[in-house]
Amino acid sequence: MIASVILAAEEVEAKNPILPELSEMFWGAIAFFSLWALVKFVLLPPVLNVMNEREDRIRGDLDAADAARARQGSAASEVSDQLAGSRAEAAQIVDAARAEAEAERAAIIGAAEAEVASMKADAEAEIAASRAEAMSGIAPSVAEVAADAAGRVMNRQIPLSSAQPVVDRFLSNSN
């Protein structure tokens, strides 16, 4: 009986499930503080180094990419500048060539027109000359024919010498 009382008393003093056990605290403290020290001095620094290095590397690469992009932009603008310059130059050259060609054409046309004009003048002169020649050739025979015709009309001989001035005057008038 007394033994059962003692047993019951012991059962009442059974360990509270909430109170910490000293030996568990001992091992837990050893484990946790070792982990803290290890993480602080041994484990974490290399990992952080690598992560920082990677971050720096990525940032560097990004910066380089930005710089390259900027460079590319400036090169592109340079190219477009050059392109615009050469285009302007080309336009200038074309304009100059066109102007030159125009001038040349004008000169050629002028020369041709001058030639044509001189040829025309020559031709006219020639025509005038041949006409005068023809006229002068035709005048005696006209006087002769006129004198003959007049003599036939008047039934008398009209000397050619008197007819000649009249015909000449008429011809020159009619001309």
Partner 1 sequence: MFALFAAEEGGGGGLQFPPISNLVEWPNYFGDGTIFAFNKIGLISMLALLIPTGMFLLSKKELVPRGLQNIVEGAVEFVDKQVIQSAIGPDGRKYMPLLLSIFLFVFFGNIFEVIPTFQMPANARMANPIILALTAWAMFIAVGVKAQGFSGFMKSSLFPPGVPKALYLLVTPIEFLSTFLLRPFGLAVRLFANMLAGHILLVTFGVLCIALWQKSALAIVLPFSFATLVGLTGFEVMVSLIQAFVFSLLTAVYISLSLNPHH
Partner 2 sequence: MSVLASTAAQAIEFAAEAELNADDAKATAGASSAGFAYGLAAIGPGIGIGYLVGQAVQAMARQPESAGQVQTTMFLGIAFTEALALIGFVVFILLKFA
Least distance in Å: CB of 67 to partner 1? 21
Minimum CB distance to partner 2 smaller for 2 or for 153: 2
Name the binder of 5 from partner 2, partner 1, none, CB < 5-8 A by kind: partner 2
Q: Which stretch binds partner 2 (CB under 8 A): 14-22, 28-36, 57-65, 130-138?
A: 14-22
Contact 159, 119 (CB under 8 A): no
Which sign, positive or negative, has the C-alpha torsion 104, 106, 109, 112? negative
Q: Which stretch binds partner 2 (CB under 8 A): 5-13, 61-69, 100-108, 138-146?
A: 5-13
Contact 164, 143 (CB under 8 A): yes
Q: Which two tokens stand for residue 78?
A: 């340079």
Does 17 help bind partner 2 (rule: CB under 8 A)?
yes
Least distance in Å: CB of 73 to partner 1? 30
Minimum CB distance to partner 1 smaller for 20 or for 159: 20
DSSP element (H, E) containing 26: helix 22-38
Q: How far is CA 109 from CA 32, 34, 97, 99, 120, in A?
A: 108, 108, 17, 15, 16
Minimum CB distance to partner 2 smaller for 16 or for 161: 16
Does 175 help bind partner 2 (rule: CB under 8 A)?
no
**C-alpha span between 116 and 123 (Å, rounded):** 10
Least distance in Å: CB of 17 to partner 1? 5
CA angle 66/67/73 to nearest 5° reads 90
Residues that bind partner 1 (CB under 8 A): 14-15, 17-32, 34-36, 38-40, 42-44, 46-51, 53-54, 57
Q: How far apart are the first and last CA of the chain?
A: 183
Name the residues that contact partner 2, by CB under 8 A: 1-2, 4-5, 8, 12, 16-18
